């Protein structure tokens, strides 16, 4: 973390929304109160009963993407990853450390962690992550509207830079533009719906390197407009329609009913998926035209 990067983050806090935010899909339970806490303990405590698991599925996919993106002809040095809606740096933790999502849940909900002050937790976690850092760890930068979550991720060393900006409503800062220019891979879990084609358009306008995008998207949330926007920037989007990835248990029958309705309206079949009690996502991968597999 550098002073300049910290300044970047704080200078953009005024851009973060203050009013209620639209959830990714109508009828979906909102967890807004746990997105911007001083540390991630409440986040893991609240989501544990619902078995939130999408960052676990992202871990292998994003590691593989980063490695393949790094083998492109002309690629020099480690690939910089931009994690959108990065929250407390969970995808960065799983990408760059010998850790599983289950271990993060266990750590942040443990009696030992709950007994710590925020300062003690930060000191502890800095060592916790340093001890588990992988030798091929790559730079990760984060974008989120939650400044406290980003502060925690910077403090414990999960993110190399963080931007508390809302590109749905404001253009990117100069600092974020410069960071995107060096980015090779964009990742997203749990964020599509909060962010739309507007955020992607703003980011893609700043790209200088061949940019890959890998996004896990709830089946209740349309992705067509994002894919069309990426196409306009020269990226072809593919998804394997035979495969879904569970995100979490529904919080109530009403939430499940809403999700099943939305899936049906989208022309999809909820049988054996949402009908069984969990939100499911698809993985959309976008690559420069001509290189998509
Ligand atoms: C469901 S959480 C996902 C967090 C993390 N990616 C994960 O999977 O655990 C959604 C995140 O999106 C962030 N968010 C909401 N609106 C946003 C926006 N317009 N731009 C960037 N981030 C936003 C929230 O602050 C929150 O951290």
> Structure tokens of 281?
């996502």
The answer to whether residue 84 scores a pLDDT higher than 70 is yes
286 close to 230: Cβ distance less than 8 angstroms = yes
The answer to whether residue 157 scores a pLDDT higher than 70 is yes
Name the more confident of 1 and 258.
258
Nearest CA to 207 out of 223, 228, 229 is that of: 229
Q: How far apart are CA 103 and CA 49, in angstroms?
A: 15
Q: How far away, in angstroms, is 73 Cα from ligand 1 center?
A: 33
Ligand 1 atom nearest residue 31's Cα: 1
The phi, psi pair for 41, rounded to 5°, reads -60, -45
> Structure tokens of 3?
């002073």
Judge whether 192 lies within some domain.
Answer: yes
Q: How far away, in angstroms, is 86 Cα from ligand 1 center?
A: 6
Judge whether 236 lies within some domain.
Answer: yes
Q: How far apart are CA 138 and CA 80, in angstroms?
A: 6
Judge whether 113 lies within some domain.
Answer: yes
pLDDT tens readout for residues 207-258: 998 999 999 999 999 999 999 999 999 999 999 999 999 999 999 999 999 9
Ligand 1 atom nearest residue 83's Cα: 6
Q: How far away, in angstroms, is 13 Cα from ligand 1 center?
A: 15
Q: How far apart are CA 162 and CA 73, in angstroms?
A: 29
Q: How far away, in angstroms, is 144 Cα from ligand 1 center?
A: 6
Judge whether 256 lies within some domain.
Answer: no
Q: How far apart are CA 2 and CA 95, in angstroms?
A: 22
Ranges 4-18, 44-58, 182-196: which has the least confidence: 4-18
> Residue 24: what pLDDT?
52
pTM beyond 0.85: the answer is yes
Ligand 1 atom nearest residue 146's Cα: 25
Pseudo-torsion of CA 232, 235, 237, 238, nearest 10°? 150
Strand partners, 80: 183
Which of 20, 39, 87, 200 to mutate to test ligand 1, by most ligand atoms within 8 A of the CB atom? 87
Q: What is the mean pLDDT of the chain?
A: 91
CATH, residue 171: 3.40.50.150
Helix and strand element counts for the chain (H, E): 12, 8
Judge whether 275 lies within some domain.
Answer: no
> Residue 293: what pLDDT?
57
Ligand 1 atom nearest residue 54's Cα: 8
Judge whether 119 lies within some domain.
Answer: yes
Judge whether 116 lies within some domain.
Answer: yes
Ligand 1 binding pocket includes 190 (Cβ within 6 Å): yes
pLDDT tens readout for residues 102-135: 999 999 999 999 999 999 999 999 999 999 999 9
State the total domains in the chain.
1
Q: How far away, in angstroms, is 190 Cα from ligand 1 center?
A: 7
DSSP string, 130-183: HHHB-TT---EEEEES-HHHHHHHHHTTS-SEEEE--TTTSPPPHHHHHHHHTE
Q: How far away, in angstroms, is 290 Cα from ligand 1 center?
A: 31
> Residue 17: what pLDDT?
34
Q: How far apart are CA 35 and CA 78, in angstroms?
A: 29
Work out the pLDDT band at 18, boundaries 50, 70, 90.
very low
Name the more confident of 293 and 134.
134
Judge whether 237 lies within some domain.
Answer: yes
Which of 145, 188, 192, 200 to mutate to test ligand 1, by most ligand atoms within 8 A of the CB atom? 145
Q: How far apart are CA 6 and CA 156, in angstroms?
A: 13
Q: What percent of the chain has pLDDT over 90?
A: 87
Q: Which domain holds residue 228?
A: 3-16+30-249+281-286
Nearest CA to 285 out of 66, 92, 80 is that of: 66
Work out the pLDDT band at 77, boundaries 50, 70, 90.
confident
Work out the pLDDT band at 181, boundaries 50, 70, 90.
very high
């Amino acid at each position: 973390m550098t002073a300049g990067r910290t300044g970047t983050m704080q200078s953009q806090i005024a851009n973060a929304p203050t009013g209620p935010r639209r959830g990714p899909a109508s009828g979906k339970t909102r967890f807004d109160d746990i997105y911007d806490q001083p540390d991630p303990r409440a986040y893991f405590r609240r989501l544990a009963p619902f078995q939130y698991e999408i960052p676990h599925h992202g871990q292998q996919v994003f590691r593989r993407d980063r490695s393949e993106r790094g083998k492109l002809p002309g690629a020099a040095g480690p690939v910089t990853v931009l994690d959108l809606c990065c929250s407390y740096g969970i995808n960065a933790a799983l990408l760059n450390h010998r850790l599983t999502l289950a271990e993060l849940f266990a750590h942040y909900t443990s009696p030992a962690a709950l007994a710590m002050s925020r300062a003690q937790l930060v000191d502890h976690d800095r060592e916790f992550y340093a001890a588990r850092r992988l030798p091929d760890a790559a730079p990760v930068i984060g974008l989120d509207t939650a400044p406290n979550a980003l502060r925690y991720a910077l403090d414990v060393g999960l993110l190399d830079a963080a931007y508390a900006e809302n590109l749905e409503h404001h253009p990117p800062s100069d600092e974020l533009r410069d960071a995107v220019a060096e980015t090779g891979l964009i990742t997203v879990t749990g964020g599509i719906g909060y962010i739309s084609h507007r955020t992607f358009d703003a980011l893609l306008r700043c790209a200088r390197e061949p940019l890959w995008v890998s996004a896990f998207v709830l089946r209740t949330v349309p992705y067509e407009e994002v894919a069309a926007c990426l196409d306009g920037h020269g990226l072809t989007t593919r998804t394997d329609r035979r495969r879904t990835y569970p995100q979490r248990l529904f919080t109530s029958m009403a939430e499940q009913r809403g999700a099943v309705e939305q899936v049906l309206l989208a022309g999809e079949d909820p049988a054996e998926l949402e009908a069984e009690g969990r939100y499911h996502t698809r993985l959309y991968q976008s690559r420069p035209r001509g290189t998509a597999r």
